[in-house]
Structure formats: structure tokens, C-alpha cells
Structure 1
Amino acid sequence: MPDAVRSALRLALHTVFPPRCLCCGAAVGSDAGLCGPCWRETSFISGTVCDCCGTPLPGEDAGPVLCDDCLAQPRPWARGRAAFLYAGTGRKLVLQLKHADRLDLVPPLAGMLARAVVPILRPKMLVAPVPLHRLRLLRRKFNQSALLAQALARDCGLVCLPDLFLRTRPTAAMEGMTRAERRANLDGAIAVTPKHLDRIRGKHLLLIDDVLTSGATLEATAEAALAAGAARVSVAALARVARDG
């Protein structure tokens, strides 16, 4: 379709259906945008970050730097990034995607995540989401991490395997658990889908999750990938829970 025709159609559509803020629904000037107040309440992560978990750090560093947590307790993955903090508008967007069936949020949120992961992308990476157990998937109707992974892979020209991993057993909801409790809850609960074992041997994976809190789910998934022969694992989360202090 010629650009002039596409622009005319977009203008006609906006006349009938003006663009709305992704978060609150207020009128905005362009599609897939945030209004001024919602933008100001979105804590996009930029500048110096932990190269492993993506948490923002003070100061300016020319090279990769790790946070105290990742230095004290090394992660099974190599590098990680997140698009914004799980607070303010960022938290509202994640909850709307996760619990309010806002599938229209997937493309713009995947675009935000794609911009955040540029420093850790590598050619021919395989993209895969952390898995949901089938019982939770039935209740939720979709795996938001899988939708983000598929959209991000399209944006970045990579291959996505949405069913690369599976949950071998149901696990308890982890809200309020300590890091040790989360790890125990996930022990042995994630595995590589047998039909994909040959696909990941020797490959570099990019694992996608919606929210990174302690990192226990990503750790369990990364460990399963490495045990199955993956050469290297990196991770990306849409939102990063802010650390106290």
C-alpha cells in the first residue's frame, strides 16, 4: 500500500477513533503512546545498569558493571536487561496486560523491551518465554511472556520458540516469598520440551519474562536450558522490581 494512501487511512481512522493513552485512555497525539502524566510516572531504565539483571545503578561506567546482588550470588545467565521499573505506570501496564486481557498492549510493550535489549542482542539468538503450567494457562488464557517474546522476536528479526520450555508441575504463587523460598518452589519445575532438545544445543538463548523480582523463575529456566546444552543464556524482562535503598 502506498505511503500516501496509508497516511490518509490513518488520518481518517484518527478522526473517528482518536489515539488514546495506552495506560489511562486519555487523548494523545499518536498511536501506542502515553499521555504526559502517565509518561512522567513511567520509570524507564536507562543509563548505568547492572549488566546481568538490568537494575539501574548510580554513576556512569564506560564498561559492563554488576550490582552487589549479582556479584554476591552469580546468576546462571550471562547478561540481562529490563525496559522499566515495576512501579507507577509501568506496574499498571503490566497488570493490565496480565489480568485485564489487554492484548493490544503487546506490540507497544514489546517495542519498549526491544529497545532495552539492543546492547545484549546477538545474531541468531533464539528467543523463548518462561513457561506457564497448563493449569495456570487455562485460567489466564494466554502466557503474556510468550506474546511479548513472539512480538520482540519479530521486531528484532530473530526466531522465537514459544513452547521451548514446559512446567513439569504446578507451583505456588510466589508473591511474598523470599528468594530462597522462590528457588525451592521452582526446584525441578521447568524443563526443555523434548522435541526442542536438538534446537537449543550450542545456541545462545534470550529468555523473556514479564516481571523480574528475585530472578528465581529466570534462574530455573536458564539452568534448564544450560543443562540441555545451550551455549549461553541472556534474559530480558519487561519490568524490573525496584530494590529498596
Structure 2
Amino acid sequence: MPSRSFVVLAEQAQARHDGRVQFRQVLIDAVKPAVDLVYPPRCPLCGTAIAQQKGLCAPCWSELIIPGEPCCTTCQRPFPADYSEAAMVCGPCMADPPRHDGIAAGTLYNHASRALVLSFKHGRRIALSRMLAPLIIAQLPQLEGEWLVVPVPLHWSRLWYRGFNQAALLAEHIAKATGQTLLVDGLRRTRRTQPLGGLGRKGRERMLSGSIRLHPRKSDVMKAAQVILVDDVLTSGATSDACVKALKRGGAKTVKIACFSRVLDEARGQNTAMPETKTPEA
């Protein structure tokens, strides 16, 4: 049993923390009208005036495609609405069973989600992470036990150029909302790869071979761990597959992929360009 003095100190520390949080919220509420006056809230997609400095206007919200059921129990690939069988698995997962243990995608990739990703990642509008992360969280299954939230890593040179890792920003929000542990440096990208846009799955796999590894100092915490692997866009799955392989080689028991937008194979032949083709540092 902890001593009474320890309990008192813990209660005082919690009270101080609660006071800081309350003061910060009061400060935010106080300056919000001034911020809205100088920077009127606008929809980040179309520029239409909106009520708050977050979210989209109603027409742009309607353009996002939110995955739902029925869907593949392995990868969340949507099925036609008239499918009603339980525990359905899609053809690609049956033909080539994935290494991961499930996908939670906030949206399916289309022009609206692409525009958000480009603004977030390449337009450096990092505040969009507060809007994108809840869409991912809404698709996560019930998390039993303790989980590690691990972002897909950037090579240090690309991180230096861009100034942030978009996957890490999303992972931070997900960890905070779910009460799980953020492991921002769980994976390392040991070699800078060329942009993957325009490459097929096999080409992406060859490009990424050996470039993503478990951080050597995180091997102990990864043993038998349950992991949520976070990225902004899941395209061919080559990058996430390399990460899953590294995590499971390091001892992870379960790895679920969480992303804002997921590109379906059947949509990749359309004219919508992949985000990598817009990477400025390329």
C-alpha cells in the first residue's frame, strides 16, 4: 500500500496538471475570437467559410468515402451492399494472405482525400492532423490490452527537409485518444529510397528491400507486442508490408495498419495520381 504522503503528492500533482489543462483551455477560448477575426475559418478543400477552425464544409465532407460494412474481415476491402455472409475474405487476401492483422482506413482514396493528404504532407498544414486522426480512430476495432502505436518512419534526410513526419503526427493523436503507448522511434528507415510513385507493387518491394528495420534499442519492448502501425496513405502496401515484416521479425505478435486513406487496387488504374508524384523533395 502506498504511504499517505505519496498519495497526497500524487493528488497534488494531478491537481496541478488539471489546473494547467483548464488554464490552457480558458486561454484558447479567450484568443479564439481574435484568431477567427484575423484568419476566418475556411474549408481546407474548397475555401468556403465554415463555423470553426477545423473540419470541412458539408459538401466536401460528402465527397469523402468512409469505409463501412460489409467488408473483408482481413483487409477492410468493401463488398457490394447485398453481401451478407459473415467472416468474408476478399480474393486478394485469399490468393496472397497478408502479413498484417487487419487494416483500419479512415477513408478510401479519391480526389477529396488526395487533396487533404497533399495539403497535410506537402503543403505543411500540420494542423490537419487533428481532423484526419479521428477518422482513423473511428475505424479502429476495440483494442484489448496494451498496444504500441508506431508510425511509418521517414529517412532522416527527408525528415530534415520536410520538418515533420506526417505519420508520427497522426500516431500521436491516435495514442492519446486510445490511451495507448506512442513509440515514435520504433522503426528506422536506414536507407533513403527514391519516390515510389509510378512503380508497381514488385518495384516498390525491390526499392524498399532492407530499408526499414526495428530500432535496435526497442527490441525488448517489441517482444510479443500488439502494434498499431500508422501511415497517412496505404497505396500498394509495399511500405507497410516492409514495416510489418520488420516488426514481426522483432517479436511483435500482432500488427494492425491504421491509415487516413487507403488506395484500392481497382482504383489505381484511374487518372487520380498517387501522392508520391507530388513530393517536392523529389
* CA root-mean-square deviation: 2.3
Instruction: Give the whole-Å Cα distance in 2 for the aligned partners of 1:49 and 1:143.
Output: 30
In the TM superposition, residue 13 of structure 1 has moved relative to its aligned partner by 4.9
In the TM superposition, residue 31 of structure 1 has moved relative to its aligned partner by 4.0
In the TM superposition, residue 49 of structure 1 has moved relative to its aligned partner by 2.5
Are the aligned partners of 1:120 and 1:234 in contact in 2 as well (CA < 8 Å)?
A: no
- Based on CA coordinates, which of the two structures has the bigger radius of gyration? 2
Report the CA distance shift for 1:8/1:228 in structure 2 as closer, same or farther (over 3 A).
Answer: closer
Are the aligned partners of 2:153 and 2:165 in contact in 1 as well (CA < 8 Å)?
A: yes
Report the CA distance shift for 1:69/1:6 in structure 2 as closer, same or farther (over 3 A).
Answer: same
Counterpart of 2:129 (choices 106, 125, 130) is 106
Could you say which residue in structure 1 is the equivalent of 2:193? 171
Aligned ranges 1:87-98 → 2 under 5 Å = 87-98=110-121
Could you say which residue in structure 1 is the equivalent of 2:260? 238
Instruction: Give the whole-Å Cα distance in 1 for the aligned partners of 2:29 and 2:244.
Output: 47
Identical aligned residues as a percent: 37
Give the SS at the match of 2:59: helix
Could you say which residue in structure 2 is the equivalent of 1:150? 172
Could you say which residue in structure 1 is the equivalent of 2:98? 75
Are the aligned partners of 1:55 and 1:240 in contact in 2 as well (CA < 8 Å)?
A: no
Instruction: Give the whole-Å Cα distance in 2 for the aligned partners of 1:100 and 1:38.
Output: 18
Give the SS at the match of 2:230: strand
The gaps in structure 2 that reach 5 residues or longer are 1-21, 268-282
Counterpart of 1:138 (choices 144, 153, 160) is 160
Instruction: Give the whole-Å Cα distance in 2 for the aligned partners of 1:62 and 1:126.
Output: 32
Are the aligned partners of 2:236 and 2:265 in contact in 1 as well (CA < 8 Å)?
A: no
Give the SS at the match of 2:227: strand
Instruction: Give the whole-Å Cα distance in 2 for the aligned partners of 1:10 and 1:43.
Output: 34
Give the SS at the match of 1:54: coil
In the TM superposition, residue 120 of structure 1 has moved relative to its aligned partner by 5.3
The gaps in structure 1 that reach 5 residues or longer are none
CA-to-aligned-CA distance 1:157-202 (integer Å, 9 cap, x gap) = 1111011000121212111111111111111111110111111101
Instruction: Give the whole-Å Cα distance in 1 for the aligned partners of 2:35 and 2:120.
Output: 24
Report the CA distance shift for 1:13/1:121 in structure 2 as closer, same or farther (over 3 A).
Answer: farther
In the TM superposition, residue 224 of structure 1 has moved relative to its aligned partner by 0.6
TM-score with structure 2 length normalisation?
Answer: 0.79
Give the SS at the match of 1:116: coil
CA-to-aligned-CA distance 1:109-163 (integer Å, 9 cap, x gap) = 111111111x253331110011111122222221101111111111111111011
Moved more, 10-19 or 73-82: 10-19
Aligned letter for 1:86? Answer: Y
Could you say which residue in structure 2 is the equivalent of 1:124? 146
CA-to-aligned-CA distance 1:207-243 (integer Å, 9 cap, x gap) = 0111111111111111111111111111111101133
Instruction: Give the whole-Å Cα distance in 2 for the aligned partners of 1:51 and 1:219.
Output: 18
Could you say which residue in structure 2 is the equivalent of 1:84? 107
Could you say which residue in structure 1 is the equivalent of 2:280? none
Instruction: Give the whole-Å Cα distance in 2 for the aligned partners of 1:97 and 1:12.
Output: 25
Could you say which residue in structure 2 is the equivalent of 1:51? 73
Instruction: Give the whole-Å Cα distance in 2 for the aligned partners of 1:162 and 1:38.
Output: 32
Report the CA distance shift for 1:244/1:33 in structure 2 as closer, same or farther (over 3 A).
Answer: same
TM-score with structure 1 length normalisation?
Answer: 0.90
Instruction: Give the whole-Å Cα distance in 2 for the aligned partners of 1:186 and 1:210.
Output: 17
Could you say which residue in structure 1 is the equivalent of 2:219? 197
> When the two structures are aligned, how many residues end up with a matched partner?
243
Are the aligned partners of 1:82 and 1:240 in contact in 2 as well (CA < 8 Å)?
A: yes
Could you say which residue in structure 1 is the equivalent of 2:14? none
Instruction: Give the whole-Å Cα distance in 2 for the aligned partners of 1:101 and 1:15.
Output: 20
Instruction: Give the whole-Å Cα distance in 1 for the aligned partners of 2:184 and 2:33.
Output: 36
Report the CA distance shift for 1:15/1:235 in structure 2 as closer, same or farther (over 3 A).
Answer: closer
